[in-house]
Structure 1
């Protein structure tokens, strides 16, 4: 929310390389950041269930592990959708707009939620590994670098070369860039392959993360007592 206020107060005084309003550039990055920060709430919810014995009770019942973890994923997607709607409305209040029609805007929202879906499974796996709510605070060590080593605030080309490479291939950068493209908002105009194929990357990264972390989460859930 503080970043939204920053964008409202100072966005008009900042420019995007190649032209465009910085406020309209910033907001899609913030939408992607909202999806990323949801990772912490997923980890905390899973570790809290483990600490309270809820997970053990589910495991003692004749319920498929996929149903239990799938239920968690669905609940978190619903929660994230509501949060995203709130942030979108706040963006409209501070002057952000989309420009390419409702269908393109819906596609941008779908890409944002697809990223959140992938991060849910990362969070479920980490929550099953950590087990206690206190240890869930360690997730911040992961979340903040992923968020700030991205194109959410600045162009990767302005970063030192090693950091720029990380930012260009950051899954969050792909979704932020693709959302800007679908919303019709200005971008940095990078010439890298990742930037030129942002939409494909915004689909590919979540699919890859889900393909890795869904099986890992299910396996970890089945072997919690080991």
Structure 2
């Protein structure tokens, strides 16, 4: 008996079953879609370029290009700027969940997922879970390179872990915005253009590169209300042991607010997208 005959018999047995397979749970479905996202990385490893090369390029470029001019010492500036570049890098790569979903929509895979008897948000949640892994990889690479260059966090490893955790919470909430936009814009290029138009002003008009106290009064007021500034100050505070409960509360509220607003909107458009 050939393999084809055996496969035909197995298929016939499945079709003759009186009981249908049980519907997968929400967790199982989400993990399955997460595994799908991991397989895409396996077969297209260039997708990791943004979480491997970008952190290295940004950290080296801004530390040695601006460090001497801003702080007079690249070592001193590295301790200040690394948490900021960490936030900037991870915030920038949050757009890729939306880009991947937009690709699925254009290729028609999205319509196939909608016909499956699974928990509807699973396709989104699974992709977001894998993105959390990507954000962690980017953070680990940047911190490791920082140590090699002379970065020394005053709060030690505990401060670094807490800083990364609050950054992951914010990044998870930010990803919902791009996922939502991927359902209402027509092309991948349009989504990337919108996301960059939003992220570039937010990241550069913040406390990523310089202390806001050095800015003109009118600009300082604008920068101080920037959500990215709150995240940078919180991560920097955790890493160097100067974080306050007010900063943690504000970043947590911003993150939860984004999730509460954009997660339901995303699911509504996801269910009704045609």
TM-score range, shorter chain: 0.7 to 0.9
* Superposition deviation, residue 9 in structure 1: 5.7
Mean CA deviation greater in 93-102 or 55-64 = 93-102
CA change 1:9–1:142 in 2 (3 A) is: closer
Name which of 100, 103, 107 aligns with 1:52.
107
Map Cα deviations across residues 40-67 of structure 1 (whole Å, 9 max, x no partner): 3222112111111121111111122222
Name which of 70, 76, 92 aligns with 2:125.
70
Aligned counterparts of 2:166 and 2:109: Cα–Cα separation in 1: 32
Aligned counterparts of 2:223 and 2:175: Cα–Cα separation in 1: 21
State how many pairs are aligned: 215
Aligned partners of 1:39 and 1:123 also within 8 Å:
yes
TM-score by length of 2: 0.71
Aligned partners of 2:98 and 2:182 also within 8 Å:
yes
* Superposition deviation, residue 10 in structure 1: 4.9
Name which of 110, 113, 129 aligns with 2:168.
113
* Superposition deviation, residue 184 in structure 1: 0.8
Aligned counterparts of 1:88 and 1:39: Cα–Cα separation in 2: 19
Name which of 63, 67, 88 aligns with 1:33.
88
CA change 1:167–1:10 in 2 (3 A) is: closer
CA change 1:74–1:196 in 2 (3 A) is: closer
* Superposition deviation, residue 216 in structure 1: 0.9
Counterpart residue number, 1:164: 220
Name which of 173, 178, 199 aligns with 1:143.
199
* Residue 90 (str. 1) matches residue 145 (str. 2): yes
Aligned counterparts of 1:9 and 1:158: Cα–Cα separation in 2: 19
Mean CA deviation greater in 27-36 or 135-144 = 135-144
* Residue 14 (str. 1) matches residue 14 (str. 2): no
Which consecutive unaligned segments of at least 5 residues does structure 1 have? 188-194
Counterpart residue number, 1:222: 271
* Superposition deviation, residue 78 in structure 1: 1.3
Aligned counterparts of 1:33 and 1:178: Cα–Cα separation in 2: 13
Aligned counterparts of 2:108 and 2:215: Cα–Cα separation in 1: 46
Aligned partners of 1:12 and 1:23 also within 8 Å:
no
Aligned counterparts of 1:217 and 1:109: Cα–Cα separation in 2: 26
Counterpart residue number, 2:36: none
Q: Considering only CA atoms, is the larger Rg found in Structure 1 or Structure 2?
A: 2
1:64 match: secondary structure: coil
* Superposition deviation, residue 7 in structure 1: 0.7
Aligned counterparts of 1:115 and 1:39: Cα–Cα separation in 2: 10
Aligned partners of 1:112 and 1:179 also within 8 Å:
yes
Counterpart residue number, 1:177: 233
Aligned counterparts of 2:172 and 2:220: Cα–Cα separation in 1: 26
Map Cα deviations across residues 84-103 of structure 1 (whole Å, 9 max, x no partner): 21122222222212121322
TM-score by length of 1: 0.85
